[in-house]
Amino acid sequence: MEQHQACQSCGMPLTSPEQWGTNQDGSKHAEYCVYCYEQGAFTQPDFTLEQMVDFCVPFLVEEGMQAEQARAMLQASLPHLKRWKAVEAN
């Protein structure tokens, strides 16, 4: 079994406890980051996979990646994350 060390919505690596999202009772959510999931709900519940890609590209560009390269990587990796896998199955 592979451990979930990245957000299952945006793919951001989760390296410190402050980066984990929160449940309604304030405890840490084990699969989503704080930017995607806060107090028991997605912060952008209506996001499509495409919108999530658009949302994430600038962060990767900021880290030195080319925009096209970032987009291609996100389009290849995000569909495998738990949030989007569920959508694909429908």
Q: Which residues bind Zn ion (CB under 5 A)?
A: 7, 9-10, 12, 33, 36
Closest of 7, 13, 11, 10 to residue 31, by C-alpha: 7
C-beta of 42 vs 61, nearer to Zn ion:
42
Shortest spacing between CB 22 and Zn ion, in angstroms:
13
Determine the Cα–Cα distance for residues 5 and 21; give it in Å rounded to an integer: 13
Minimum Å gap between C-beta 81 and Zn ion is 9
CB of 33: closest distance to Zn ion in angstroms? 3
Q: Which is nearer to Zn ion, 35 or 61 (CB)?
A: 35
